[in-house]
Chain A
Amino acid sequence: MKIHWTQIAAAVSLYPLLTAVHADTLQRDLWTPAEIEQISSLSLRALDALPPDPSNRVADDPRAVALGQSLFFDTRLSSNGRVSCATCHLPEREFQDGAPLASGVGTTSRRTMTVAATAHSPFLFWDGRKDSQWSQALGPLESPVEHGGTRAQYAHVIAANYRTEYEAIFGAIPDLKRIPSIAGPVPEAAAARAWAGLSDAQRDAVTGIYVNIGKAIAAYERRIQYRASRFDRYVDGLRQATSTPQNALSPDEVAGLRLFIGKANCTQCHNGPLLTNNEFHNTGVPVRPRLPADAGRLAGADTVLRDEFNCRSRWSDANPAQCAELEYLVTGAHTLQRAFKVPSLRNVAQRAPYMHAGQLATLREVLDHYRRAPAAPAGHSELKPLRLAANELQQLEAFLHTLSGGTTAPPMPQSVTAPNQNR
């Protein structure tokens, strides 16, 4: 068949019209019902109501929220008077710090995780060694490289500065006159000796206050949540029957979403409205030089079972039957070696560097890591190499940028000390 130039010209002249129709329908009509359902499951609208925390009886007490908020920003809760929770969990940075490794009075061997939406997670920290927000909050307070202080010191801070607020929630503060200013079960020898010198009753009195500090901070942290992002607005549009804010995402971002739920396999771990399955996986993340060996969840699962402040502990307000997460916990499995918590991808573009010790500087490096799927330094990586072209990596990265929406937290009252940003 011989094709005349006018035929080509006519077809070409029709093409812009047809592709315009295509572009208009691309973002909406080319999703199958199953894909729309899958995409909708990632929307913040699919998030369950705040789950109760039976281990913390003041979790939803507004007085505890206010006290916890004050404590979150109070640098007196540290050995040098310069470190508060907000030192690493900066409200203006979605409650993380943007540093590869967290720095308090010293430097830790892990990256700061955000506080946002941690109320929805059964286990906290990169290795899941804590099973509630309140017990998590107590870890850094006695860590020699984070807040660096001791529980006796913190009990005195409460008695001297928060007596009224504390006693309204938790009852009378026991007499602390005979309690030394520094004492606790910490590595520092003098503080540990002072702690060993106390009676059981004295230790319980101090630990009781310490635990309540954690529970108040948790009441505040429960209310720190993610805000809706451009992606969520796109999903809203997708689900509406009429015309819509489909243009909430660009064609590249939509292509990235298609890869995200499809051949890039991202939703294998980053699923649900928080874009995390809250589990622990070995993805072959490289070792950060000069840090000690890190077994991740393998160690964390054992640690949480014997944690002084876990759900079954005497400091928990739950009855043991409510501690199902501990009851059915997997421990000792080879798959836990160097497995780390799957972080939420909400606000991910705002929180470089990435991975549990900030090993990867940019989203591009992260995506390239998943494409290459290198062997794990220890244990076995669950990744398989991905056949993704350079433009597909760009599209995925573009999509990840649509997940930024910031965080929401209780407003800062006048009485709260300004966030301390000493690093």
Chain B
Amino acid sequence: MKSLPYYTAAGLAMLAISVAGCSHVAAMAFGTGATRPAAGEFGVGPRVSAERRYVATLQPQQALRPRQLQSMRVSIVDARGQAVDGANILVDGGMPQHGHGLPTKPRVTKNLGGGLYDIEGVRFNMGGWWEFKLAIRGVAGADTVTFNLDL
């Protein structure tokens, strides 16, 4: 004859099995296979460009929310920390895990001086991990900076 704790343990084991049976695996069953970056890779920056020519920082004009048409300000400095003005900036992005891009065509609408640019027409059409990419062509050459944003 076993002790009461034994039966309790047996019962708890069955509970664990039954709980596990109805909790689901969080990973998407299907997708592009893209892996979500580490938590430290997320945020509005400062973010160094791929070839280290620029450092960009996003300054959203409102809290980023899904489905809203939004504006963003971006600050761009060169590797020495000098503000970069007059750069040509193209905006792109999407959801790597879903294989789709941005639902709108956002673009830089103003160069405010002091390395600040206004980007308008940004929309994220669902929550989750988004890439927001800026292709910068400025005094230090062409380079791309990619932000990982969590909506």
Which of B26-34, B81-89, B141-149 is found at the contact surface with chain A?
B26-34
A41 contacts B127, C-beta separation under 8 Å: yes
Give the residues in chain B near A329, CB-CB below 8 Å. Answer: 104-105
Residues of B within 8 A of A57 (CB): none
Tell me which of B16-24, B35-43, B54-62 binds A: B16-24
Indicate whether A150 reaches chain B with its CB closer than 8 angstroms.
no
Smallest CB-CB separation from B13: which chain A residue? A11
Contact A263 B10 (CB under 8 A): no
Q: Given A7-B2, A279-B103, A324-B120, A18–B29 Cβ distance below 8 Å?
A: no
Contact in complex: A272, B7 (CB < 8 Å): no
Q: Does B98 belong to the interface (CB within 8 Å)?
A: yes
Question: A339-354: which have CB < 8 Å to B?
Answer: none
- CB of B114 closer than 8 Å to a CB of A: no
What residue of chain A has the Cβ atom nearest to residue B100's Cβ? A382
Residue of chain B at shortest CB distance from A31: B23
B79 interfacial contact with A, CB 8 Å: no
User: Do B24 and A263 touch across chains, with their CB atoms under 8 A apart?
Assistant: yes
Given known contacts A15-B14, A18-B11, A18-B12, A263 and B103 CB-to-CB distance under 8 angstroms: no
Assuming A11-B7, A269-B126, A271-B66, is B98 touching A26 (CB within 8 A)?
no
CB pair A386 B15 closer than 8 Å: no
Which chain B residues lie closer than 8 Å to A38 at the CB level?
127
Would A22 and B24 count as touching, CB distance under 8 A?
no
The listed residue with most B CB atoms (<10 A of its CB), out of A6, A19, A277, A329, is: A277
Complex: chain B residue closest to A23, CB-CB: B18
Q: From residue 119 to 154 of chain A, which have CB atoms closer than 8 A to chain B?
A: 122
Question: Does A387 lie within 8 Å of B29, measured CB to CB?
Answer: yes
Are A324 and B121 CB-contacts (below 8 A) given A11-B14, A41-B127? yes
Query: Closest CB-CB distance, A342 to chain B, in whole Å?
Result: 9
Query: A18 contacts which chain B residues (CB < 8 A)?
Result: 11-12, 14-15, 18
Assess whether A14 is in contact with B125, with CB atoms less than 8 Å apart. no
Q: Which segment of A77-85, A240-248, A254-262 sits at the interface?
A: A254-262
**Interface residues on chain B, number (Cβ under 8 Å):** 38
Of residues 242 to 294 in A, which have CB atoms within 8 Å of B's CB atoms? 255, 258-259, 262-263, 265, 267-269, 271-272, 277-279
Check if B14 sits within 8 Å of A325, measured CB to CB: no
CB distance from A13 to the nearest CB of B (A): 9
Closest-CB distance, A388 to chain B (whole angstroms): 9
Interface flags for A1-35 (1: CB within 8 Å of B; 0: not) read 00010110011001101110110001000100000
Q: How large is the interface on A (under 10, 10 to 19, 20 to 34, 35 or more residues)?
A: 35 or more
Residue ID in chain B nearest A276 by CB atoms:
B67
Q: How far is the CA of A21 from the CA of B12 in the complex (A)?
A: 11
Pick the most buried of B2, B67, B127: most chain A CB atoms within 10 A of its CB. Answer: B67
Interface residues of B in 88-110 (CB under 8 A from A): 98-100, 103-107
The reply to whether B126 and A268 contact each other, CB–CB distance below 8 Å, is: yes
A10 touches B7 (CB 8 A): yes
Q: How far is the CA of A414 from the CA of B19 in the complex (A)?
A: 57
The smallest beta-carbon distance between B39 and chain A, in angstroms, is 13
The docked-state distance in angstroms from the alpha carbon of A380 to that of B91 is 25
Find chain A residues with CB under 8 A from B105 CB.
328-330
Q: How far is the CA of A14 from the CA of B22 in the complex (A)?
A: 20
Q: A22 contacts which chain B residues (CB < 8 A)?
A: 15, 18-19
Determine if B1 is an interface residue (Cβ-Cβ < 8 Å): yes
Known contacts A263-B29, A386-B29; A328/B104 CB under 8 A: yes
**Contact present for B67 and A15 (CB under 8 Å):** no
Given contacts A41-B127, A265-B28, A271-B66, contact A14 B11 (CB under 8 A): yes
A265 to B128, CA, bound (A): 12
Q: Is B50 an interface residue (CB 8 A)?
A: no
Q: Judge whether B30 and A386 touch: CB under 8 Å.
A: yes
In the bound complex, how far is the Cα of B24 from the Cα of A11, in angstroms? 26
Nearest-Cβ distance from residue B23 to partner chain A, whole angstroms: 6
Q: With a CB–CB cut-off of 8 A, which chain A residues contact B2?
A: 7
CB contacts under 8 Å to B, within A318-370, are 324-325, 327-330, 335
Q: Is the CB of A328 within 8 A of B69?
A: yes
With contact pairs A258-B24, A330-B103 given, residues A277 and B126 touching in the complex (Cβ less than 8 Å) = yes
| Contact of A410 with B by CB under 8 A | no
The answer to whether A267 touches B120, judged by C-beta atoms less than 8 angstroms apart, is: no
**Interface residue from B15, B66, B67, B107 paired with A328 (Cβ < 8 Å):** B107
Give the nearest-CB partner of B68 in chain A: A48
Please report the C-alpha to C-alpha distance between residue A4 and residue B28 in the assembled complex, in whole angstroms: 43
User: A: which residues have CB within 8 A of B?
Assistant: 4, 6-7, 10-11, 14-15, 17-19, 21-22, 26, 30, 38, 41, 122, 255, 258-259, 262-263, 265, 267-269, 271-272, 277-279, 324-325, 327-330, 335, 382, 384-387
The 6 closest A-B pairs by CB, nearest first: A328-B121, A14-B11, A277-B125, A384-B30, A263-B29, A328-B104
- In addition to A18-B14, A41-B127, A335-B100, 13 A-B residue pairs with Cβ atoms within 8 Å of each other are A6-B1, A11-B7, A11-B11, A18-B11, A258-B24, A259-B24, A268-B98, A269-B126, A272-B66, A278-B67, A327-B121, A328-B105, A384-B30
